Amino acid sequence: MLHDYYYIRQNNLEIRYREGFAKYLGLTLTAFSESYDFLARFFSQEISDSLRLILVPDRKEYDRLVIKLLGVDIETPSNPGRLAQPQKTDLVFLHPSAYDRDSSYVFRPDEYTRLIRHELTHVFEEYLAPDIESSPRWWSEGLAVFLSRQWQHADQFAFRQPVLEGIEQNKLPDLSAVENDIGLAYDWGWTLVIYLYFTEGRGRIVEIVKEFDFSQADIIKELSSSQEELEMNWQDWLLSRGRKIICPAADNFAFFS
């Protein structure tokens, strides 16, 4: 299926690409490698298997590999907002040179670097979690937005803006809404993860990924006496201490301090 792809390797990381699409290989490999090292350190565990990032030249090839190689059922042609898809140890990425014609995004190197870390977070999560399929969307996407630092930037993915507006206007969603609404899960899920990070610590985040059955009820049961109490504590934190961390989005924010 990838017989006409070239490859480069670094340790357990491999990048596949088509002839004529070697541009951005250095940027991709650096982001892939640095993201892997960061996530292995954060979760205190390496992935023993080889990981493969495949740069596809256009939307048609993206759809083919996502369906045929990854086994993920998507509409075709896929939404132009789709740039990457992970599954197990493979990640399919639309090549940056195809953004202009095959996506709704403008290629920006810093955003591309963060996207690689976002998608690789899903790979680590799937590798480490006992039951990834039961993971609530707000947790899985929130973890990826948090660890990729996408929450710190007002970029095209717009994870940051809705939260800043909600904090400024004192209008925060309830947990049920974040759980059941796809848009709110993407916009607000990371604020729940960052709340847990600062109140429970990195070890607690890692424990949830590695040991919990990943259901919404399981996470809430372990962290609070009720969903209502967790919601109240999360919202109070966001409007007090959380806003001092989120609103400035300090570049010197340290995950291991």
Q: Is residue 63 part of a domain?
A: yes
219/136 Cα distance (integer angstroms) = 10
Burial 64-102 (b: 16+ CB within 10 A, else e): ebbeebbeeeeeeebeeebbbbbeeebbbbbbbbbbeeb
**Per-residue pLDDT reduced to its tens digit, 20-78:** 999 999 999 999 999 999 999 999 999 999 999 999 999 999 999 999 999 999 999 99
Residue-averaged pLDDT of the chain: 92
Q: Is residue 116 part of a domain?
A: yes
Amino acid at 128: L
83/58 Cα distance (integer angstroms) = 10
Tell which residue, 232, 171, 170, has the closest CA to residue 199: 232
Q: Are residues 84 and 147 in the same domain?
A: no
Q: Are residues 96 and 190 in the same domain?
A: no
Q: What is the pLDDT of residue 121?
A: 97
Percent of the chain with pLDDT over 70: 94
Q: How many domains does the chain have?
A: 2
Residue 155 makes CB contacts below 8 A (sequence gap 6+) with 108, 110, 111, 114
Q: Predicted confidence band at 131 (pLDDT cuts at 50, 70, 90)?
A: confident
Q: Are residues 50 and 154 in the same domain?
A: no
Domain stop point among 70, 104, 128: 128
227/216 Cα distance (integer angstroms) = 10
Structural domain that includes position 61: 5-128
> What CATH number is associated with residue 106?
1.10.390.10
Q: Is residue 256 part of a domain?
A: no
The CB density around residue 156, as the number of other CB atoms within 10 Å, is 12
Q: Predicted confidence band at 214 (pLDDT cuts at 50, 70, 90)?
A: low
Inter-residue contact 135 to 125 (CB < 8 Å): yes
Tell me: pLDDT of 215 over 70.
Answer: no
